[in-house]
Amino acid sequence: MQIERYDKRPDLRIEEIQKDWRTWVAGNGYIQIATIPLEYEDARVVLEIWSNPTLIDSHLIYLPRIPHAAGDGGEKLFITDQDHFAFMEEAARKMATMAMILAREKWKARQNQKAMLN
């Protein structure tokens, strides 16, 4: 899992979070406040929005693995404060949508190549 902060600073909690991010989230008092389904053709992901307004890093945005993606299509967790939350949420939506489109189109191109070789 890749973890990114809104301010791009290194986060000293990365190893702890990566071990089991859901346990870390629960242990730090975050609650899931929304799920945002995103779809492109038969590919679907659901962004998860978590919040703990008592913390400076008040919001987490979880992006699961993108279907059909190779390389950097793995899980991501964005850590943000309240001031940057709306921007980060919109950026995560756009990034996930574009990643699904690119992955699906590359997959279709590979399928077409295979079909032509047979």
Domain definitions of the chain by residue range: 2-117
**Looking at residue 71, what is its pLDDT?**
61
Q: Which two tokens stand for residue 74?
A: 């793995």
For residue 49, pLDDT beyond 60: yes
**Looking at residue 72, what is its pLDDT?**
56
Q: What is the mean predicted confidence (pLDDT) over 31-38? A: 96
E strands of 8-116, at which residues? 31-40, 43-51, 59-63, 76-80
Contacts of 48 (CB under 8 A, 6+ apart): 32, 34, 35, 60, 61, 62
Please identify which residue in the block is written with the tokens 């990114």.
4
